Structure 1
């Protein structure tokens, strides 16, 4: 018997979320969430939840077409995954290449920034953590 079989135990499923790290030289694309949504006004990497039966690659392609009007040409490796305690979401920050110019279809603003510049923006908590962790890893390799 596992802990999931015990009476009164809590088993919460996780929800995969994809976040596209789109680069243009040393800059990455960050998108400002609309004011009426959760974390409204905060900047984030574009992406969203995986639908039932959808792979992470399919979710990234769908989300970027819906949110930015761009086509994904390459989905690379997952750079980092974050699962905050108490949250059902596991966010997979993934290297992505696109074709087309990103549009503000579902966001209030788009910014191409370096990771250091990004820290000056109001970032969604997990995105700030990813950027901070990435900068820490870069500093360790210098």
Structure 2
């Protein structure tokens, strides 16, 4: 941190439905020992310099889940400031093209309904996103 202002990172996340069940979506539990350890979030990660959101999301899911995605349209965008970091979080619709999600960069993976997700401890940046998803304020099909 410089001058007391947390650095800002752009993070992209996937709303990926379970194949054959459009009501359950993939969430992942963060690894123990790191920042926000063992909290839940939507799969994805940081956008690197010079990388598009879509390319970053496909890369992160390839690296962390061993899957190939088709990244769709932007569904949600928000911003959250932690003591150490400001996160610009963008959620994209995503479809699993190949592979079976494996927790390479996560502690655990689950396909859950939005209502089931509310029982889990989520990262603070993901909570407004989850609230909108549960309340039906996201247009998922188009």
User: TM-score range, shorter-chain basis?
Assistant: 0.7 to 0.9
Partner of 2:110: 111
Equivalent residue in structure 1 for 2:87, among 77, 86, 89: 89
- Offset of residue 79 of structure 1: 0.8
- In the alignment, the residues of structure 1 paired with residue 78 and residue 118 of structure 2 have an alpha-carbon distance, to the nearest angstrom, of 18
Asked if 1:45 is matched to 2:39, the reply is no
Q: Secondary structure at the match of 1:41?
A: coil
- In the alignment, the residues of structure 1 paired with residue 95 and residue 37 of structure 2 have an alpha-carbon distance, to the nearest angstrom, of 26
- In the alignment, the residues of structure 1 paired with residue 80 and residue 125 of structure 2 have an alpha-carbon distance, to the nearest angstrom, of 8
> What stretches of structure 1 move > 3 A for 4+ residues in a row?
10-14
- Offset of residue 15 of structure 1: 2.5
Unaligned runs of 5+ in 2: 138-142
Partner of 1:4: none
What is the alpha-carbon root mean square deviation over aligned residues? 2.1
- In the alignment, the residues of structure 2 paired with residue 11 and residue 113 of structure 1 have an alpha-carbon distance, to the nearest angstrom, of 36
Q: CA 1:41–1:85 in structure 2 vs 1: closer, same or farther (change >3 Å)?
A: closer
Query: Which has the greater radius of gyration?
Result: 1
Q: CA 1:26–1:43 in structure 2 vs 1: closer, same or farther (change >3 Å)?
A: same
Name the structure where helix makes up a greater proportion of residues: 1
TM-score for both structures, normalised by structure 1: 0.82
Q: Is the 8 A contact 2:43 2:61 kept in 1?
A: yes
Q: Secondary structure at the match of 2:31?
A: coil
Name the structure where strand makes up a greater proportion of residues: 2
Partner of 2:133: 134
Asked if 1:18 is matched to 2:12, the reply is yes
Query: What is the number of residues matched between the two proteins?
Result: 129
Q: Secondary structure at the match of 1:26?
A: strand
Partner of 2:73: 77
Q: CA 1:12–1:113 in structure 2 vs 1: closer, same or farther (change >3 Å)?
A: closer
